[in-house]
Amino acid sequence: MNIKHALIIIITLIGLQACYKTPSYPIEPTVRFSAFEKPNEIYTLDAGEGGNLIVEFTDGDGDLGKLNNQDSSSFVVYRNLRDTSFFHDNMYVIPVIPKKGTTNAISGKIEIKLNDALFNSYLSYFVMKGISIDTFTYKLYITDRAGHRSNEIVTPPIIVKIP
């Protein structure tokens, strides 16, 4: 009876292991827009509103994000598309991403804080244009530590106003 139970357990474990497939992604990272998380439909500058731009990523060789706290070679590059002569590329350093399991392939989400510091440069844009509200979209991509560049995406619009 014990050998029979042991055999059933072994066959079940082998079957379960065969069902789990290790994720396989290309070595170039990929990025996909997930969401804007904000407290209101309109983001108000200097109102203390927080929020996040959330993107999902995959990377086949797992070299996305900081290697350690001193490293800054993996980042999100984003640009406001509203006025490309006024707005330039910005960079957000991707934090350390811990490995899970035995594979190098990683996937997950990156949350970029939307805060007043990000939008402070927009005050001069609003003043220059003589407006108090505008709609912005961002083009972005990510890079890994090896310098591989992901696909480019464009976010849905976000409405920003000055108080």
| Residue 64 token pair | 């996305």
Distance CA 65, CA 50 (A): 23
Write out pLDDT tens, residues 70-120: 888 899 998 889 888 888 888 889 998 887 777 888 999 998 887 665 666
Q: Which residue stretches of 63-162 are H helix?
A: 116-119, 122-129
Q: What is the pLDDT of residue 159?
A: 87
Residues in contact with 2: Cβ distance below 8 Å, sequence separation at least 6, in sequence order? none
Query: What number does CATH give the domain 23-161?
Result: 2.60.40
Q: Show me where the domains of the chain are located.
A: 23-161
Q: What is the pLDDT of residue 163?
A: 77
Q: What is the DSSP letter of 60?
A: T
Write out pLDDT tens, residues 102-113: 788 899 999 888
pTM passes above 0.95 = no
3-state secondary structure of 50: coil
3-state secondary structure of 116: helix
